Structure 1
């Protein structure tokens, strides 16, 4: 994914955070999804090959299905990832024409396609906005060393999500 695409995705995530007044850190994505116009279906018999799906289920609504086997931080990231598909690929609130075409299409959190990388970037930007993330890293840094577990805790995300965000922002190698 090129720099311009990443910047665009981060701007979309920032706009979504602002329009829907999404707090930091996000403790529970369910009320946010409801505010945006969707529902969450937590499934116990979910296909183990992927973590979540999103599908249009009305003119102005959508449903995100996720596996019940994920911990709370993973569920939040999966839901944020599916919201990435909603805004970036399904056109919700962005392109009425693209949104109208989504009747039967289902997006799944699976694989390594460009759309999956984009949805992951959106999720990271939504849950760990660049400016807030960088501020947290600076606050936690001690003698040039950052305890990434503390950063992850401050952002209410998994350690791997916090580390990947640092890598994508170019502050970790």
Structure 2
């Protein structure tokens, strides 16, 4: 069974939206580049897919936009090349190395986990909560930023039951952010 990891940046008060001010610096961008490369595929809901595609899809002319710093290019290239599964009932089609996932999302992700291959990664806000509620997420990677956003969607808001997790890895960054990797505790 393939491992599914939920990976996201979060503020101290649990806000996960990129506009809450949890944008990575150069050191964290290298960390996220490695995280994208670690997985065989990314799983996104429609909103996250469209947001990521809008920012990180390689332009048709092959030239990255002027707003992008040189240290962001490796992340952009890694994400651009990554295989993606997009959960959506409203998108008619997807591109950007993506396959559309329709129907029962829990059964679809369960099937993806059962396929041969390496680890899977899920991002976003709503989809990970649904997958956590179904017990499909094996690992949780949170890059906790030293700020209180005070607004925005919150991490795993709407979770039905407590998650019992074990801390398996911790890494501090120069910015004061701390990446914490948790593994879901086995039942019993």
What is the TM-score of this pair, normalised by structure 2?
A: 0.28
Q: Which has the higher strand share?
A: 2
Higher relative contact order structure (alpha carbons within 8 Å, sequence separation ≥ 6): 2
What is the TM-score of this pair, normalised by structure 1?
A: 0.29
